[in-house]
Amino acid sequence: MKILLLGYGKMGQLIDQLATQSGHQIIAKINIDNRSDLDQLDNSKVDVAIDFSQPEAAVDNIKWCIDHQIPVAVGTTGWLDRKAEIDSYCQTKDGTYLYASNFSIGVNLFFKLNQQLAKLMNNQEQYSVKTKEIHHTQKLDSPSGTSITIAEGIIGQIDRKSDWVNHKTNQPKELEIISERVDPAPGTHEVSYSSTVDTIEIKHTAHSREGFAKGAIAVSEWLKDQKGIKSMEDFLNFD
């Protein structure tokens, strides 16, 4: 598989390392300093692109890939206020892209577990629910895209919650997300339901970034043969 890397920070570098070890070829490594290199790139030599860039660059990167008929797996967060625009653009141009707030297989299983638990807890109004995340201090967005996905999974199932906030709250309709930034934590996410008599908790802890990178590569291997707007649920084939 021939890969275009958009963004070459820690995740881009790790994907480069692991993809090369697996026999894939990195066609180009694009970041803010050399984005003009895209103008000379022969897109016919690219099977798929992986974007772990910056929020301000992601939209242009995705559009460039769609314009050049290159399927793109997007792990950059912080740009979702323009996702509807990108969805429409992708459909109009008959492109292919997949956005995931997290490419870790374990995290995506956690997302599904979180939704199922929230569904079970909908009628258990004696339980209050809150979420917490811990990431390294270089994490640019707060809350993380993963935390937002978790929160949306809860809000979608629990009628008494209508919105999330990134601070402590006593408002019944608000779901609390507490964000902590501690080095060198690669990522921990917790959901807890507490009553006067007990607490139910689910938790995912990443031991390294390797799970995110391996997931992105696996998704890209699948995405290169797909068409349209895809999701991790499509990739994992959840029933």
Q: Is-catalytic flag, 167?
A: no
- The answer to whether 132 and 190 are in contact (CB under 8 A) is yes
Separation between Cα atoms, residue 76 and residue 51, nearest integer Å: 6
Contact 203, 219 (CB under 8 A): no
Instruction: Considering the candidates 24, 130, 135, 230, report the single residue annotated as catalytic.
Output: 135
Q: Is 135 a known active-site residue? A: yes
**Strand extents, DSSP E, 83-168:** 96-99, 128-135, 163-165
Q: Which entry of 29, 112, 136, 139 is annotated as an active-site residue?
A: 139
CA atoms of 154 and 147, how far apart (whole Å): 11
Q: Name beta bridge partners: 3.
A: 26, 48
SS3 (DSSP) at 180? strand
Q: Which residues are catalytic?
A: 135, 139
